[in-house]
Structures are given as C-alpha cells and as structure tokens.
Amino acid sequence: MDNNKTISANELSNNNPSYLETIFSIANGHFGVRASNPVEKSVTGGTIVNGFYETSAITYGEKAYGYAENNQTIVKLPDFRTITICDDSKNEFSKSELKDESLNMDNGVVKSVYKLSNKDNQSIELTLEIALQQLNNQVVGLRYEIKSIDYVGKITVVKHLDIVNESEVTDDPRKSRTVNTLNYDKAQLSDSCEKLKVTTEVSKLFLNLALCAKGSLEQSYDLGKSDSITLDYVGFVSDIGEDLNLEDTPSFDDIVKESSEFWQRFWKSSEVKISGDDKLNQAIHYNLFQLTSSTGRDGRTNIPAKGLSGTGYEGHYFWDTEMYMSPFFAYTNPKIAQELIKYRHSILDASKKRARQLGVKEGALYAWRTINGEEASAYYPAGTAQYHIDADISYAINRYYDVTGDSDFIEKYGLEVIIETARFWKNFGSYSNVAGEKKFCFFDVTGPDEYTAIVNNNYYTNRMAKFNLEFAVKLIDEFPVKSEDFGVTKKERDEFAKIASDIYLPYDKKLGINMQDDSAFEKPIWPFADTPKENYPLLLHYHPLAIYRYQVNKQADTLLADFLFDDISKNQLTREYDYYEKITTHDSSLSRSIFSALAARIGLKKKAYSYFTDTVRTDLTDLQGNTDDGLHVANLGGSWLTVVAGFGGIQVKDDTLEITNNLPDEWNELSVRIMFRGRLLEITYSAKETNVKVIEGKPLEININGAKQLVK
Ligand code: BGC
C-alpha cells in the first residue's frame, strides 16, 4: 500500500478526542460520521447530513428592515459508532483508552483500536472499522472486533440509534448553536433492524435513519482467552424527505469494496505527488480526500465550510465553494463542479428576492451564508455586505467553462446566473465623480477581508464585478436567443459593457499599488508590536469597530484579485505583496494558500514554500486551534490551488492551457493530474523539465513556460 495515503493518530501532535473526531471523520457528500469514541457517548460526535437543518428566529436586540430573519442550523443526528458492551455482571466496559486510529485513503476505511475496561479493571480490546458507500451514498458499514485482554466470560453487546441531546454551549461565532426542536419516531422492524424518522419542527424537513445488525441488535457471547468476536452492522441515511428501502442490505465487505473502487478511480484522475517531502505529500492527499468527502454531489446541496466533519459555521455554504473548493473539481471531476453550479442555479429565485430586500430593483444577490438560499448571516457588515459573492459565483462558472468547454451546460445553467448577477451590479452601483472623471462605483461594501467592513470601492469587489459584467456580455453574444428568453435586450447588453469599462479600480499612485478601498491607506496601521500572541485571532479579542479603524487584514483581499486575474506587472505585484503581507494576520484559514501561490508566481520561493507547509497541514497541525469544530475545507481546496496554480503555474488564458514551472527547491519532483477539455493530463515538474503527457484523449496544443507545444 502507498504510504502517503494513510494517516494515523500517532503522527499527530494533538490527541484531544474532539480533534481526532474531526480528523478521522469520514463522509460521502451526503452524510458524515465523526470519529467518536464508541463507548463514551460523545457530545461532539454524531452524524451530519448535508443540507439537513433546523431554522429558528434570529433574535436581535435592535432590528432593522431587511435583516436576515432566520438561523439555519445543521443538526447532529445519532452516532452510528456508539455501542454498549457489558460483562457478565451487566457492568459496562465504559473506561476506554484509544490505542491507535488510522485512515486509509486508498479504501476510505477508518480503523480505531481501544482498550476497554470494566469497573473491576478487566479489559478487552475493541477494534472498530467504518466505511461509507460513496456512489449509493446512503450506507455506512461498521465492523466491531472484540478480543480478550484479561477478561474472559460472558459479554453482552447492545447497539441502537441513540439520541444524544446535549451540545456545547459557546459564544464563539464560528461554532454552531444548539438545536432542540427535533422529533424522533423510532420503529423496531425486527430483532436485527430499527428505523428512526427525524423531523425538524420548524424547517419541516425529515429523513430516515436505520441500523441493521448481521445478527441481532442485542446479543450475548462467551469470550474465551483467545477468541475474537466480529460483529457487523449497516447504517442507512435516507435522502432528505425520503423513506428508506432496506431490502438490499450490503455486507460490510461489499461496502468496503465499493468505497475502495471509488477512491481508486478518484486518485486516477486527481493524483498529486510531491517527491521530496513525505509529510507534505501525505497532507495534500488527506486534503483532497476530505475535500471530496465533504462535497454535495446532487445539485441540491453544496460544500459546508466545515464539510461534513463538524457543525462549525452551522453547516453553511459560503463563497468558499466557488473561490477555494470548486477549482479542484473543475480540473479533476467536472461533474461535481457542475452539481455545485446547479445548486447556485436552484437558489436563484431566493437570491432575486434578497436583492429586492436590499432595495436593488433588478438582478440577484446571493446570500453570504446559507443552506436554503435565504440569508442566514445575522451580522451584515461581514455578511450580506460581502456582495462579491455574486461575482465569485460568476468567476467559478467561467472557470468551469474555460476548463471544460461545456457550452451546453453553460447555456442551460450558467447563463441565467450570469445575467442576474450582472443585473445586480448594474443596479447596485452608481456613477460618481472620481478625480474629475465619471466612474462606476460601489459604495458601502465589504471585501473578502473581514477586518475591514462597509467601505467604498473595495478593489476586489470592483475588479470582480467588472469581470462579472464582461462575462455577461461574452455569454450574451454567444447565446443571443437564450439570452432574449431571459429578457436581455441590445440596450442592456451595451449597458453591461459600458459599466464594465467604467468601473473604478482604486490605485495609489505614490505607492504604485492597487488600493484595498477608497479609505484604506488613510487609516493607521494596527499596533502589531503591542498585540500579544494570545490575542490572535483578533476577532475573539477586540470589538469589530476597534479592528475596522485600522489597516489590518484577516485574509488576502486585493492580493486575491491579483491572483485570480494575473493582470498586473511583476513589479507592481511584488510591491503589493510586500505591502499587504505586513498588515495581514491570516486569522482566516483562507489566507495562506493565496499568499503561497502568489509568492510562487513572483519567485519568492522561500515564502511560497513556508506558507505552503503551514497551509497544507492546517488541520493536521491544528494551526487555527479550532479543528475540533470541523475541517477548514476552503483551505483543503486552497492547498490544491497552491500546488496546481502556484507551484504548477496552471491557468487558462485566452482559451489555452498555460503551465509555468515554479517548483520549490525543496522538492525533487511534482506531478499532478488534471482534466482539460475532455483529456486527462499528467504534468510532471522537476528542476530541469516540465513534462506533459496526455493519459486519455487527443493531442492538445498548450503553452509550457511561455512556448506553444503540442502534447500527446
Ligand atoms: C472567513 C470568510 C469565510 C468564512 C467561512 C471566515 O473566517 O473570513 O472568508 O467565508 O470564514 O469559511
């Protein structure tokens, strides 16, 4: 087996149970199971179903018109891992010690080994293996193996779908709130099977869970000194609003086989190999494994900010999907990238409604954070004001188009989103006088950097809106008939084009750099020297207004635009990098990957490498200190972006695939697999060479290190 595709607990420095629950959680886009200790009824363990949420009214001390009305909170469902094992006096083996835990990314199996003891300190060894079906993604398989350590005698094993109600109580805005409005309806189908219908009282969603044992859900055995008892169970999670069909219960081995085949196919089209650093190589594999596990693949769900590995950020979908996660899918599994776009298309009506609430008479404004399409951010300065999400979605649609060339899909699902977002920008912005010139401006917006809020002409927002409008014009010209169906006239098309060329892009002549927003450089710089280490992240230690009045960035903002458009000179980029790096705290996990990729592009090799080593292992080292709430999924995608777009210098320009070798000195070789226009390519970089091989599909002309080349 390939060593880089396993990870075990003894390689991690943090052995906090809730941290390990996240790291060894597994998921299949539909549901995830945290790696809880099976005998300890963990408060943070359980099952998380993508898109299964409860709503509750947001309570504001002072409310104003148009504020988000309802929380949407992903709910935690019974834990499939829980089991009760008793000795011959009916005492539980309730004391436990984790001996080993590992994830095999070749077959998707997590294995946990515990020493369990009863109250007389007699012990048994429990090994739990768990795997999920990936294609028929309603199924989880569990195999428990029990051996004697120094206990011999009768044991009773009881396993049910236990309802755990407690949850953590917290003030941390990144965590989830508690839901106690779930209704459960349990049905015992037989000795070996039970079913549980879960209904959310307010959002009125339901789904069904089931648990079936190979033998019986409650059974007793005689455990001899050298006996080993194996117990198999299969769990089911229906789609939301559906019942379960339990006629075909696969065996544990069938489930592992299906999972294994899925992951083998996955690695074939997505492989990334870093030769020269095993730890980084292992980490990038982990990130891709977990990113894919986290991703809704049905067009109705998306990628929660913490994936299905934890309830942090309440299971909401953010711009994270379009800017950090979906690039990986566009380049390796376009079908999934399509489904993510379909989800955005499916919430277009809710987004149009939201634009009206904001007083914008045409177009659609996507919710900053949501599951059902409605805005769920109770803090508008760092929520709804991040209008850039509209353009982020349009950027992702363009990326999908660039990489796949799939015009049918764009006409069917992309075009309408692009037109409605372009309409939003047209009606949201206005002409204003800027240094004697009439420029199109956007007032009172928040860019990606959440430490700067409600400012005029955020460079990122303006640059992205310009792109959104230009892309609308391009698509309208390409699909004139379908555009007419959406009410587009020649006049509107020309307005889009005119506004795009008139959009104001703030630039500071003295410093020779793009300016984050109109007032950015007037503010004092944050007193970094007087800020103790323990006061980071700043958001947990300072009032937002105390942060907003300084120049301090939580994450890449102007630099993100530079990364996406690659449209400024290397000199300017170097100046800009230097300026913004000094004021960035990287308090958001979405930051370092962009700093790394840009540094690679500029040739700041040491910096690129150092940011990358942090970013790729963010969760494996608990860099942000909150991996126990769930994985930082945008960063999982961001680390791939760094490898492929940063070190690998891959981008599409003027319809052509461009590759630039920015390999770090520390690596002997890097090889990546990507798909481009129906071909599977393998690109290998070394200090001396950049090699491109077409693994599947026809030859192709691409641009390698500045020269056109036909690759086969
Ligand atoms: C970041 C946002 C991100 C959100 C969810 C915040 O900390 O600042 O950019 O969308 O987390 O990941």
| Whether the CB of 554 sits within 6 Å of ligand 1 | yes
Report the catalytic residues.
450
Residue 13: predicted pLDDT:
86
pLDDT in tens, 240-291: 999 998 988 999 999 999 999 999 999 999 999 999 999 999 999 999 999 9
pLDDT in tens, 107-147: 999 999 999 999 999 999 999 999 999 999 999 999 999 99
In the chain, the largest separation of any two C-alpha atoms, in whole Å, equals 90
Residue 595: predicted pLDDT:
98
Task: Tell me the percentage of the chain whose pLDDT exceeds 70.
Answer: 98
Q: Is the pLDDT of residue 402 over 80?
A: yes
Residue nearest to atom 5 of ligand 1 (CA): 305
- Measured from the Cα of 448, ligand 1's closest atom is 9
Residue nearest to atom 7 of ligand 1 (CA): 588
Q: What is the mean pLDDT of residues 648-673?
A: 97
Q: Please, which pLDDT band fits residue 164 given cuts at 50, 70 and 90?
A: confident
Q: Which residue has the higher pLDDT, 2 or 602?
A: 602
Measured distance CA(471)–CA(462) in Å, rounded: 14
For 407-548, strand residue ranges (E) read: 430-434, 437-441, 507-508, 513-514
Q: Is the pLDDT of residue 3 over 60?
A: no
| Whether the CB of 632 sits within 6 Å of ligand 1 | no
Q: Is the pLDDT of residue 165 over 90?
A: no
Supply the mean pLDDT for the chain: 96
Strand order in the sheet with 153-158: 84-86, 153-158, 218-223
Q: Is the pLDDT of residue 658 over 90?
A: yes
Q: Is the pLDDT of residue 455 over 70?
A: yes
Q: What is the mean pLDDT of residues 624-646?
A: 97
Q: Please, which pLDDT band fits residue 1 given cuts at 50, 70 and 90?
A: very low
Residue nearest to atom 12 of ligand 1 (CA): 305
Out of 3.40.50.300, 2.70.98.40, 3.40.190.10, 3.40.50.2300, the CATH code matching 3-57+68-166+173-266 is: 2.70.98.40
Ligand 1 centroid to residue 463 C-alpha, Å: 20
Q: How many CA atoms lie within 13 Å of 639's alpha carbon, on the beta-carbon side?
A: 31
Please choose from 320, 560, 629 the residue to mutate so as to test ligand 1's pocket, defined by most ligand atoms within 8 A of CB. Answer: 320
Ligand 1 centroid to residue 591 C-alpha, Å: 10
| Whether the CB of 588 sits within 6 Å of ligand 1 | yes
pLDDT in tens, 40-78: 989 999 999 999 999 999 999 999 999 999 999 999 999
Q: What is the mean pLDDT of residues 169-197?
A: 86
Three-class DSSP category at 317: strand
Virtual torsion, Cα 486, 491, 497, 498, nearest 10 deg: -140
Answering whether pTM is above 0.95, one says yes
Q: Is the pLDDT of residue 487 over 50?
A: yes
Phi, psi at residue 431, to the nearest 5°? -80, 140
Q: Please, which pLDDT band fits residue 168 given cuts at 50, 70 and 90?
A: low
Q: Please, which pLDDT band fits residue 169 given cuts at 50, 70 and 90?
A: low
Tokens representing 132 are: 């999920």
Ligand 1 centroid to residue 487 C-alpha, Å: 35
Ligand 1 centroid to residue 384 C-alpha, Å: 13
Ligand 1 centroid to residue 588 C-alpha, Å: 6
Where is 237: in which H helix or E strand? Answer: strand 228-237
Residue nearest to atom 6 of ligand 1 (CA): 588
Measured distance CA(437)–CA(673) in Å, rounded: 48
Residue nearest to atom 9 of ligand 1 (CA): 448
- Measured from the Cα of 316, ligand 1's closest atom is 5
Where is 157: in which H helix or E strand? Answer: strand 153-158
| Whether the CB of 448 sits within 6 Å of ligand 1 | yes
Residue nearest to atom 11 of ligand 1 (CA): 588
Phi, psi at residue 556, to the nearest 5°? -60, 135
Please choose from 450, 554, 594 the residue to mutate so as to test ligand 1's pocket, defined by most ligand atoms within 8 A of CB. Answer: 450
Measured distance CA(345)–CA(649) in Å, rounded: 31
- Measured from the Cα of 450, ligand 1's closest atom is 8
Q: What is the mean pLDDT of residues 387-410?
A: 98
| Whether the CB of 450 sits within 6 Å of ligand 1 | yes
Q: Is the pLDDT of residue 166 over 80?
A: no
> What's CA 425's distance to the chain center, in Å?
27
Q: Please, which pLDDT band fits residue 4 given cuts at 50, 70 and 90?
A: confident
Q: What is the mean pLDDT of residues 439-444?
A: 98
Q: Is the pLDDT of residue 2 over 80?
A: no
CB count within 10 Å of CB 51 equals 22
Ligand 1 centroid to residue 590 C-alpha, Å: 7
Q: What is the mean pLDDT of residues 226-252?
A: 96
| Whether the CB of 634 sits within 6 Å of ligand 1 | yes
pLDDT in tens, 360-393: 999 999 999 999 999 999 999 999 999 999 999 9
Indicate the domain borders of the chain: 3-57+68-166+173-266
Ligand 1 centroid to residue 568 C-alpha, Å: 26
